[in-house]
Amino acid sequence: MSEHGGAQLPMAMLLVFGTAKIMGEIFERLHLPNIVGEILAGVVLGASVLNWVEPKQIAEFADLGVMFLLFRVGLEVKASDLIKVGRVASIVALLGVLVPFGMGYAIYIYTGSNQIEALFVGAAMVATSVGITAQVLASKGLLNVRASRIILAAAVIDDILGLIVLAVVSSMAKGEVDILQLTTTAGLSIGFTIFMLSVGTKTMERVLPGIDKRLRGGESQFSLAMILLFALAVFATYAGVAAIIGAFLAGVALAESVSHRVHDLAQGVTELLVPFFLAGIGLALDISVLKDPRTLTIAAVITVAAIVSKFVGCGLGAMSLGWPDARRIGAGMVPRGEVGMVVAQIGAGLGIVSKATYGVVVLMAVMTTVVAPVLLTLTFRSLAQMPDDPDETPIRIE
Amino acid sequence: MSEHGGAQLPMAMLLVFGTAKIMGEIFERLHLPNIVGEILAGVVLGASVLNWVEPKQIAEFADLGVMFLLFRVGLEVKASDLIKVGRVASIVALLGVLVPFGMGYAIYIYTGSNQIEALFVGAAMVATSVGITAQVLASKGLLNVRASRIILAAAVIDDILGLIVLAVVSSMAKGEVDILQLTTTAGLSIGFTIFMLSVGTKTMERVLPGIDKRLRGGESQFSLAMILLFALAVFATYAGVAAIIGAFLAGVALAESVSHRVHDLAQGVTELLVPFFLAGIGLALDISVLKDPRTLTIAAVITVAAIVSKFVGCGLGAMSLGWPDARRIGAGMVPRGEVGMVVAQIGAGLGIVSKATYGVVVLMAVMTTVVAPVLLTLTFRSLAQMPDDPDETPIRIE
């Protein structure tokens, strides 16, 4: 039947996937990171240029795509490796929150904005979008070098800190700071993460083979993995952190118990959906709000501040490892991607963040995301030929 | 950020995927087809029982799921094998359209319905949902026996015939039958299918390796396959047939040129999304409209007629192959699934199909889909141990 399903879904899939892959290929040939091409494909298809695709048409595929990306990355990471780098990662995350928050707040106060809006801009500059960095590192087979592990661990901690900052700022906006509720939220999210990292992997190693053996359906291990992925994504949001953190922890918990077949099948979903995540970031950009020269100037300043503050803050936190790794970690924490936009949306929903400021935050989020792959390529160049842990087979997620 | 993405998407994924897999497992243990369990999972989650999930929450995943299912099936089928069985498949499809259409129309006229509504019910009984049958046959590794090939070829022809029937009935409802437009539509859809089957495979074999070699991105063959899949799905809807027919033809065109890696990656997407397609059929059922005893009686009669008419019509068309294959082909064409519902929706949109009649059609569509796997298991049992073509490695899609 011609009306069955209709052309709308396959057309959106074709436009976004096709354009992302073609622009990725062009960037690859120009010796630029292809991930930047895929993000810019979204800018081209979105409101800024062609206006052919609306963000909400592909929002579910984008959300699922970044969940699978983090799940796949988790499958390559051992919980013990993350715990080992926990101390350094905590310092990296903490300085990576304080420096950008302070700079964003200060700049907005300087422009004459009110206190609360400035706090929201600061909060929007806090959250790292680990998806972008994970994609770049995975595509280079560099997930298992020390700097990458610290970035991943710091991104998890960063998400928890970002949650707390957002909760504080939101309750200040509403004029009531409920310390008990804030403590509960923080405790829940930290508890969930520590529980999954410490108990999760061992439980899976003990439990999974037994359940798997008793199931009769085809590809039952993959089905179990998917159920764990979705369950932890749900639990994570209930605990207050992002669904992708749950997806990542599901991957880590399964890393040592799941067959290669599950990796391949999950990889198929990742390959299909990640371009929607990347292009989805670009789709959100609407350059028309930046026509006003004053807004454009603020956007430029905020964007530069966002890059510098994360790079310097996180780099400082990792100085104990020496300059090369500090640079790598600083670069890896730069992208804000979709997370910064969500904070700005909440502020807009509360009537605190103006349309112009929202446009500024979106530009900052997109630009940090475009710059990060370039910084990563430069800072990780010397490692690309010689991974520091030859036992680990590098994988390609791209 | 807790609000990033939110719990809604992972929760819907968890509920639908998890329930489908658990009920599939239970049915497997009861020696019933697990696909029936997955469809009934949708009934349980939907308006009829728990009302936890709305059909539109997972509609895109369901639509994409059945596209990937048909693509995966297409990858296992040679165009030449489909063309070889074309004559028998045409007779199967033609009788499989005429007998159900006539029975549906006659029953509704007998109940005192008006001419046009009866025509729509007839049209809704025409279209075969090949996804269900393909899933059952693939999971048994029986895609390459003669009966399966005829079912697949007949389903493609059936879709074209269904398109023509729907076009005629719709234009009768609007009071104007435009012969020129009908001929164009028919010609386009037939031309598209024949072109893809005859030229498509050879073109891909010649063109794909060259393009693939020149691309620099990772998994570039998979990306090319996806672009072809979406492009043909779009073309198919423009030519008037279903997007899944385009997806199937994309698979067939690539069957002999694509690497095993592409099969595995596409399989991952299929594994994830097919439960959404299956549960989505069950989700559409709302038994509350069937409370009226008269409606329930009509629904029961129509459901029995739908099963018998397809089984007999298609079976008759295949009698030249002997009774065992005729039975198999008859059983394989029984499910109406989502396609019958779409016809009824169009009728409802034109104000012709009443709410009660819509409920009748949905029950018919769901029940034929639940019965078909049982019929298939029975009729194909003797083949399950000995595929007639030992050169072909049976694959499992499940």
3-state SS, residue A112: coil
Residue entry with tokens 């994988």: A395
Residue B216 touches chain A, beta carbons under 8 Å: yes
Residue A289 maps to a domain: yes
Residue entry with tokens 């409209």: B289
pLDDT value at B1 more than 50:
no
3-state SS, residue B277: helix
Q: Which two tokens stand for residue A10?
A: 């396959």
Residue A5 maps to a domain: no
Residue B22 maps to a domain: no
Query: What CA–CA distance (Å, rounded) separates A62 from A48?
Result: 19
Higher pLDDT, B237 or B384: B237
Residue A384's pLDDT is 67
Judged on CB neighbours under 10 Å (0-12, 13-18, 19+), A366 is buried
Residue B72 maps to a domain: yes
- Answer positive or negative: Cα dihedral of B186, B190, B193, B195: negative
Residue entry with tokens 């995540």: A277
CATH number of the domain to which B116 belongs: 1.20.1530.20
| B143-182 residue pLDDT tens | 889 999 999 999 989 888 888 888 888 888 777 777 888 8
A 10 A CB-CB count for B370 gives: 21
The closest of A44, A118, A49 to A302, measured between CA atoms, is A118
Instruction: For residue A9, give the nearest of B1, B6, B60 by CB distance.
Output: B60
> What's the whole-model pTM score?
0.87
Cβ separation B264–A265 shorter than 8 A? yes
Scanning A248-287 for CB atoms below 8 A from B yields 264-269, 271-272
Chain A residues in contact with B18 by the CB 8 A cut-off are 227, 230-231
Q: Which two tokens stand for residue B203?
A: 């073109």
Scanning A124-183 for CB atoms below 8 A from B yields 127, 139, 159, 162-163, 166
Residue A61 touches chain B, beta carbons under 8 Å: yes
3-state SS, residue A129: coil
* Mean pLDDT of all residues in B109-134: 90
Residue A379 maps to a domain: yes
Using CA coordinates, name the residue in chain B closest to A336: B1
Residue B389's pLDDT is 46
Query: What CA–CA distance (Å, rounded) separates A212 from A155?
Result: 32
Please list the ranges in chain A whose pLDDT falls under 70: 1-5, 384-398
Question: HSE-up of B158 (CA within 13 Å, CB side)?
Answer: 37
Question: HSE-up of B18 (CA within 13 Å, CB side)?
Answer: 16
Residue A60 touches chain B, beta carbons under 8 Å: yes
Query: What CA–CA distance (Å, rounded) separates B268 from A264?
Result: 7
Query: What CA–CA distance (Å, rounded) separates B77 from B74?
Result: 5
- In terms of residue numbers, what domain contains B339? 59-384
Residue A221 touches chain B, beta carbons under 8 Å: no
Cβ separation B2–A240 shorter than 8 A? yes
* Mean pLDDT of all residues in B261-290: 90
Query: What CA–CA distance (Å, rounded) separates B263 from B71?
Result: 10
Cβ separation B1–A159 shorter than 8 A? yes
Cβ separation B242–A34 shorter than 8 A? no
pLDDT value at B398 more than 50:
no
DSSP string, B237-263: HHHTS-HHHHHHHHHHHHTTTS-HHHH
Residue B183 maps to a domain: yes
Residue B266 maps to a domain: yes
- Answer positive or negative: Cα dihedral of A71, A75, A80, A82: negative
- Beta carbons of A248 and A65 less than 8 angstroms apart: no
Residue B173's pLDDT is 79
Residue A77 maps to a domain: yes
Chain B residues in contact with A265 by the CB 8 A cut-off are 264, 267-268, 271-272
| B236-271 residue pLDDT tens | 888 888 888 899 999 999 988 888 999 999 999 999
* Mean pLDDT of all residues in B96-124: 92
- Give the count of domains, chain A: 1
Cβ separation B398–A60 shorter than 8 A? no
Instruction: For residue B217, give the nearest of A21, A242, A265 by CB distance.
Output: A21
Residues near B93 by beta carbon (within 8 Å), at least 6 away in sequence? B154, B155, B157, B158, B161, B314, B317
Chain-centroid distance of CA B69 in Å reads 9
Chain A residues in contact with B240 by the CB 8 A cut-off are 2
Chain A residues in contact with B2 by the CB 8 A cut-off are 163, 166, 185, 237, 240-242
- C-alpha distances (whole Å) from A107 to each of A40, A95, B177 are 28, 18, 68
- Beta carbons of B135 and B69 less than 8 angstroms apart: yes
Query: What CA–CA distance (Å, rounded) separates B56 from B59?
Result: 5
- Beta carbons of B74 and B249 less than 8 angstroms apart: yes
Residue B21's pLDDT is 95
Query: What CA–CA distance (Å, rounded) separates B327 from B322?
Result: 9
Chain A residues in contact with B219 by the CB 8 A cut-off are 271, 396, 398
A 10 A CB-CB count for B207 gives: 12
| B211-243 residue pLDDT tens | 888 887 778 899 999 999 999 999 988 888 888
Cβ separation A264–B266 shorter than 8 A? no
Ramachandran class of B361: left when φ > 0, alpha when ψ lies in -120 to 50, beta otherwise = alpha
Residue A238's pLDDT is 87
Residue entry with tokens 């899609």: B397
